[in-house]
Amino acid sequence: MVDHEVDTAAGTAVVDAEAVDRRGALPTEGVLARVRAGAADLTGALRRVAEHVLSDPAGAARATIVELAERSGTSPATVTRFCRAMGFEGYADLRLGIAAETGRVRAAGWTVDIGREIQPGDPLERVLGQLMAADTRAMHDTAALLDLAEVERVAVAIAGASRVNIFGTSGSALVGEEMQFSLHRIGVAAWAWSDVHEGLASAALLGPGDVALGISHTGQTRETIEMLAEAGSHGATTVALTGFPRSPLAELADVVLVTASQATTFRPDALSARHPQLVVLDLLYIAVAQRTHDRAHAAFRRTARAVDGHKAAKGAST
């Protein structure tokens, strides 16, 4: 059944216009990752179009606008608004973007088992292949979503910062600790906080010239939002690393770095986002090291020498 009532709602049209204003024109790279990230912000008929495109991107690329509307239970007008919400002028441009992306995916071999549920009896060889395919796709999608100018902006801010605070809870805390360790090795004064009380106290001591990085795949973790907001209220530059560019965490940050994910059985989005998050933070860490080369090189050598004595000697028995 085609849904006409939702299509003509004034509120939906306003949401679409705002989405276009915020996104601007989007490239054809990472189309499905953008749809996946934006689907959570859509409602009603628009959400159904997004879900159908994600469930069968190859079919969507072959379908006419009328066919896609019928398959998603909407109307051609809704499909057109959906295209504009994704930053495309019309359905032809969206189809072209999806077709180009699915073609690249097939050529690269990333389609192997992506989207297939891992079964209890699957051999480890098949599980490994699915995990590799999903992670490879997620990292390529992240590269397509990532704004390198924003990465550089954050790198410059961290390179000149007196203090860097990194906030995250649960799995995001592990990612934050990895970044803190990397920055600390090159002489950047960085702290990672997962406890909200300790994080808020540290955030309250930040000021202009300092940097606060909040990590949350959903962008909805209350503790991380509170800690980043506290840091921003004292003038620190705030950065969000998230999979949802219009999430509460992203909305309050000065800079947003977006990651993609490919969920599989036993690895929901939050867990499958771990590797793309680490890739982005590794890129940011290297960018900081480049901009503080002499200081970073000297600090890395000193820290390496400090722990060198704890390495086992070659040929020693264990």
Residue 315: per-residue pLDDT:
63
23-38 per-position pLDDT tens digit: 344 444 578 877 877 7
The low-confidence residues of the chain, meaning pLDDT below 50, are 1-28, 109-115
For 239-283, give the DSSP string.
EEEES-TTSHHHHH-SEEEE-----BTTB-HHHHTHHHHHHHHHH
Residue 230: per-residue pLDDT:
98
Q: Note whether 62 and 106 are within 8 A (CB).
A: no
Residue 207: per-residue pLDDT:
97
Sketch out the chain's domains with CATH numbers: 29-107 (1.10.10.10), 141-307 (3.40.50.10490)
Threshold 0.95, pTM exceeds: no
Residue 298: per-residue pLDDT:
94
Residue 43: per-residue pLDDT:
82
* 278 Cβ contact list (under 8 Å, min separation 6): 175, 178
Q: Which residues pair with 242 in a beta bridge?
A: 258
Residue 104: per-residue pLDDT:
61
Residue 311: per-residue pLDDT:
82
Whole-number Å distance between alpha carbons of 61 and 70: 15
* Strand duo 164-167 + 211-215: pairing: parallel
Residue 291: per-residue pLDDT:
96
Whole-number Å distance between alpha carbons of 174 and 182: 13
Which strand (E) or helix (H) includes residue 14? helix 10-23
What's the burial of 278, exposed, middle or buried (CB within 10 Å: 0-12/13-18/19+)? middle
Whole-number Å distance between alpha carbons of 249 and 269: 17
